[in-house]
Structure 1
Amino acid sequence: MNRLILLLAILAVGLALLIFNHDSGQTFGMNNDDFGRLVSLAAIATLFAAGILHSRRHFGESVRQIALWLLIAVGLVSGYAYRVELQTFGDRVLSELMPGRTMVITDGEGQQEIVLRKRLDGHFQAEATINGEAVSMLVDTGASSIALTYEDAERIGLDPESLGYSVTVMTANGRTLAAPVTLEQIAIGPIERRNIRAMVAAKGNLDRSLLGMSFLSTLDSLQMRTDELRLRD
């Protein structure tokens, strides 16, 4: 059993090193793919060594344990090999359960896209980060600029009370006044922009913050389908 624990430790340490060094592409000077194969071979060798040593007394039990741990080894190595596909699958499931959750996919050319699923009310919702704070926004291609609610403006560090509400805008609640501002940073997933023009609506005149064209027009493409919206940097 101690040898089987050693096997599990080899797999766990190897997988942890692969995940930690994923971005660098190398582990101990070896290509991550080669290192992954080395870990799997070491695990298999440990399995066979443990089986041979133990089979003299408990052959049947030894075979069962070898098969079990071999299955675990194959599962761990396969999980790492298909980590990108598994992450995409998980994101897809979560985006169906939680519309508006940012799903990042990579096409065959290595280009990343943000995929937003349509909500039950027919709108597309994006979970953005503005000045380091999370802000839930509705995507609105009819809005010329990003529009923040009074409350969201406070949350991202602005002082809406001191702003000058000099711009007349149309909202779902009718005509209202808004204050022009410049956002230091706004990001949706890996797509980030800085010094983006925006508006802050007067208090009580906007129900939800809007992701308008001052951000959307900076994208390479904006593709709307029946139930999803794709954004490409």
Structure 2
Amino acid sequence: MNMLTVLLVILGGGLALLIFNHDSGQIFGLGNDDFGRLVQLSALVVLLSAGVLAGRRGKAGEVLRNIAVWLLIALALVAGYLYRTDLHQFAARITAGLIPGSPVVMTTSEGGEEVVIYRGRSGHFQAQVTVDGQTVPMLVDTGASAVVLAYDDAARLGLDPQNLSYSVRVQTANGEARAAPVRLETLAVGPIRRTNVRALVTEDGRLSESLLGMSFLSTLGSLQIQTDQLRLRD
């Protein structure tokens, strides 16, 4: 086994352990940060050893250049791990910009999960919600007592809105309207999933966008708005 193979095994194995055991906080009795530094130091030792051995067979300039290249590779890999949270957040912002309302799963400082939704260009929080297996864009509305489906969304979900009983009076942005009570088998925002969710379907033309209301939001562990982020925890 040559020095290059040893270096790759150390870096690859070390990074794999850090990724898969990140939530546990420890690897072989060492904290993740300490283990990361050990991987970095071991890689540097192998790299320098390879340079010394190669110096016996090649020109000094070429040896130094090879050492510098591998040193940069090792530092880049270690920096990628140390700044993984910042990179994850950057990727999340790119995803949210390309697909407005797409829920992004983040790891909290306590090791748990939370779903982050970024504020849209309209200034509101719109979420891509999975309802009975289909994606429905919904406006997050803490003022709505229930999940409220627009007529067209209800038709797309197969709820047959033409034959529903519109017996509930609701207040919408377009004034007072009537709505029909229904039950949704499943409703999910990212990994947060609920079953048998109470919802309403509005009359045709009374609501332009479905609302993610309190019949779902009230079941969450927490809901926080931080500047342009809406953070949901199960």
Q: TM-score range by the shorter chain?
A: 0.7 to 0.9
Q: Which runs of 5+ in 1 are unaligned?
A: none
Q: How does 1:144-223 map to 2 (within 5 A)?
A: 144-156=145-157, 158-161=159-162, 163-223=164-224
Q: How does 1:1-233 map to 2 (within 5 A)?
A: 3-4=3-4, 7-8=7-8, 10-23=10-23, 33=32, 36-37=36-37, 39-56=39-56, 57-92=58-93, 95=96, 100-103=101-104, 114-156=115-157, 158-161=159-162, 163-224=164-225, 227-233=228-234
- Structure 1 residue 198: deviation in Å? 0.8
- Residue 134 of structure 1 aligns with an amino acid whose one-letter code is T
TM-score with structure 1 length normalisation? 0.75
Q: Which whole-Å CA distance do the structure 2 matches of 1:23 and 1:228 have between them?
A: 24
Relative to structure 2, which stretch is displaced further, 71-80 or 200-209? 200-209
Q: Which runs of 5+ in 2 are unaligned?
A: none
RMSD over equivalenced CA pairs, Å: 3.6
Q: Secondary structure at the match of 1:176?
A: strand
- Structure 1 residue 137: deviation in Å? 0.8
Deviations 1:60-108 (A, max 9, x none): 1111211221121122122223322332344346556765343555665
Q: Specify whether residues 154 and 188 from structure 1 end up closer, same or farther in structure 2 by C-alpha distance, changes over 3 A only.
A: same
Q: Specify whether residues 122 and 40 from structure 1 end up closer, same or farther in structure 2 by C-alpha distance, changes over 3 A only.
A: closer
Q: Which whole-Å CA distance do the structure 1 matches of 2:96 and 2:179 have between them?
A: 33
Aligned length, in residue pairs: 231
Q: Specify whether residues 157 and 84 from structure 1 end up closer, same or farther in structure 2 by C-alpha distance, changes over 3 A only.
A: farther
TM-score with structure 2 length normalisation? 0.74
Q: Share of identical aligned residues, percent? A: 57
Deviations 1:130-179 (A, max 9, x none): 33433211112232211112343355564545543333333334443322
Contact 1:14–1:36, Cα closer than 8 Å, also in 2? yes
- Residue 62 of structure 1 aligns with an amino acid whose one-letter code is V
Q: Which whole-Å CA distance do the structure 2 matches of 1:63 and 1:143 have between them?
A: 66
Q: Specify whether residues 110 and 30 from structure 1 end up closer, same or farther in structure 2 by C-alpha distance, changes over 3 A only.
A: closer
